[in-house]
Amino acid sequence: MSLAPYLFVDWGSTNLRAKLVLRGDVVASRESPEGIRHCKGRDHDEILTSLCGDWKTAHPDLRVIMSGMIGSREGWREAPYVDAPAGISDLAEKAVTVTSRSFGAIHLLPGVRCDDAEAGTTDVMRGEETQVAGLLTDLPHEESTICLPGTHSKWVRCRDGRIGHFQTFPTGEAFALLSRDSLIAGSGGPPDPDSPAFARGLELSGKAGGLLHHLFLGRTEMLAGRAGAADLPGLLSGILLGHEIREAMTIGADAPVYLIGDSPAARATARALEWFGREAIPVRDDVHLHGMTILADLLAAPEREGGA
């Protein structure tokens, strides 16, 4: 990697995460709740400067690369999606540059778009592709499946170092909404993926009737005395994750799943995959850092052949 100091930023819809990288190592990190939906009238340059301006003062040659929703049409400037299948070099090639009053030139990385011509549908990712890039070089050349669990979980099929077909499941968002104000909200705390209620939810997800019917079964499980109000969060989580994984397995065949992160969502997904008899390979390294480092090298080589 270049010996130049770097500021790597993951700027999403609700949060901003920044890392100061010197000689390939993260020496400082900061976070802000000022995602692109919560800028409160301040422009992006002002927000970044208030959070990390002192890093630029300490390191005048600081180079800045950003991933995530900051490159969306609602962000600083749109970095158009790269069409799948896409490799790491495609992401670097399609990066766009904005000029900051404080930081000078800043690279914004693109997202990835996946069109299913047969189904007539489109899926997208913006931010997750950087994490996938950090894992691609370590994957076998045959097909592999990567899962990035969270609010909008991504299941990504990769082959020969490229991002191929992928699907998004808003499982975390659905759980947050349903567990807050619905008939199956229950009275328990966070769902326990080791609980019988969670396993029961996974089982119910395979019954006839579809997702909407299965969600109502959360209510009838309580009415029939098979679950208490405290069990409902686990039951709901199991139903939603069960549907996600059953569908996602159709793009992953029997290959092991590389499961990124150690969040509650990742732990629940690991437990659900175990219940389904699928091998999960945990990935707890900072793949975002690795991906950004690889992309930084491509963007700087040599300063993209004299272009921006």
Per-residue pLDDT tens for 283-293?
Answer: 999 999 999 99
Q: Long-range contacts of range 166-170, CB-CB < 8 Å, 24 or more positions apart?
A: 166/84, 166/112, 166/114, 166/123, 166/125, 166/251, 167/123, 167/247, 167/248, 167/251, 168/123, 168/124, 168/125, 169/244, 169/247, 169/248
pLDDT digits (tens, 9 = 90+) for 123-147: 999 999 999 999 998 887 678 999 9
Give the position of tokens 């793949």.
Answer: 287
CA-CA distance, 97 to 104, in Å (whole number)? Answer: 10
Over residues 82-86, the mean pLDDT reads: 97
Over residues 18-25, the mean pLDDT reads: 95
Task: Check whether 305 has a pLDDT greater than 70.
Answer: no
Instruction: For residue 275, give the nearest of 167, 193, 178, 219 by alpha carbon.
Output: 193
Secondary structure of residue 70 in the 3-state scheme: helix
Instruction: For residue 112, give the nearest of 160, 169, 68 by alpha carbon.
Output: 68
Report whether 247 contacts 268 (CB < 8 A): no
Q: Does pTM surpass 0.85?
A: yes
Over residues 108-128, the mean pLDDT reads: 96
Task: Check whether 306 has a pLDDT greater than 50.
Answer: no
Three-point CA angle 265, 268, 272, nearest 5°: 135
CA-CA distance, 75 to 12, in Å (whole number)? Answer: 9
Backbone dihedral angles phi then psi of residue 3, each to the nearest 5 degrees: -80, -5
Q: Residue 216 is inside which H or E element, if any?
A: helix 210-223
CA-CA distance, 173 to 176, in Å (whole number)? Answer: 5
Supply the pLDDT for residue 302.
Answer: 58
CB neighbours of residue 228 within 10 Å = 14
Cα atoms in the Cβ-side hemisphere of radius 13 Å centred on 296: 26
Topology of domain 6-139 in CATH is: Nucleotidyltransferase; domain 5 (3.30.420)
Over residues 35-49, the mean pLDDT reads: 91
Over residues 151-165, the mean pLDDT reads: 93
Domain ranges of the chain: 6-139
Over residues 194-214, the mean pLDDT reads: 97
